[in-house]
Amino acid sequence: MFYNYVLQSKKNKNLYVGYTKDLRKRLIEHNQGLNKSTKPYRPWELIYYEACLNKKDTKRREKYLKT
């Protein structure tokens, strides 16, 4: 199972959309600064997520959520 997610920066309210197989681990990685594009805007909070059965559907939904 894959997850689409939306994070919001507690620092400046920016949004970040992504997908992962391990939602908890990915949120920890964002908040530890392991993602170059989200590091400057830490801390992040999870404000939305949804599950998809396969990567193809997940990528399609991620593209939609980014528009």
pLDDT at 30: 99
* Domains contained in the chain, number: 1
Reported as a single tens digit per residue, the pLDDT across 10-56 is 999 999 999 999 999 999 999 999 999 999 999 999 999 999 999 99
pLDDT band at 8 (very low <50, low <70, confident <90, very high): very high
CA torsion sign, 31 to 7 to 24 to 18? negative
pLDDT at 20: 98
pLDDT at 24: 98
Please choose, from the candidates 55, 57, 61, the residue with its C-alpha nearest in 3D space to the C-alpha of residue 17: 61
Q: Which domain holds residue 19?
A: 2-65
The CATH number given to whatever domain includes residue 11 is 3.40.1440.10
